[in-house]
Amino acid sequence: MTEKQIEELIQKLNRKELKEELIFKRRISKNVFVAKIWNSLPEEKSITECIKSERWFLIQNDSNKFIGAILDCVEDLHWFIQKGYRGKSYLSNALRESIIPYLFDDKGFEYERVVQRITINKKKLEAKNFKASKNVAIKLGFEYVESKNGKEIFKLEKNNLNWQHQNLKEINTLITEERINQLKEKIFYCHNMLQYISDEILMSCGDYGDLMEITKKVNDYSKEINRICSET
């Protein structure tokens, strides 16, 4: 992910050019959102691989304008701040107070993150930006690991994070009953298609295997949506 690509994303956000169905945002602090962004909607066509969203952290100024973004690559973080907002602590404050604590305390992720690495690429950054990114990393407590092909690698262990600066304030948003029903319709469609596929496999191969159990779990999603939404 290049700086230009991240800047284009920020511009699209401010111009409201991203389709609502391709981005789901959750405010985690005053100036920061965590977001799941899809490049395109899943659709029924000839495909050879599964598609998934990317997780981003979006930074706003006090006027609710998006001025920065960070792509969570799990093993790395790619960040960018617009020129007029650099050197004003927007990035370091967002990382220190909400983003890094969120990453280390993310109960919704598939495994616990105990180390966060970042790579600062000298070849892709202007000298001034390269130095600024290094200063941000060091200021946050990241430790230098090694240099490879013009890239400097830093890491921060969960146990070494200063949690006193943590200022997470997550906010739920209302999902209407109409939207809940729309989501259930999508689940029923997935269930019915899996049932359809399972029948063909059974008639062709003489065995369902675990397909019926998987199909049942998909059907249970509708009940889980009701439970989650009723508790928020």
Does 127 reside within a domain?
yes
Q: What is the domain extent for residue 60? A: 3-165
Main-chain phi, psi angles of 122, to 5 degrees: -65, -30
Both 115 and 224 in a single domain? no
Q: Could you report the per-residue pLDDT of 120-174, keeping only the tens digit for each?
A: 887 777 777 788 888 999 999 999 999 988 889 999 999 999 899 999 999 988 8
Both 154 and 217 in a single domain? no
Question: Residue 45 CB: number of other CB atoms within 10 A?
Answer: 5
Helix, strand, coil abundance in the chain, percent, nearest 5 = 45, 20, 35
Q: What is the pTM of this model?
A: 0.89
Does 172 reside within a domain?
no
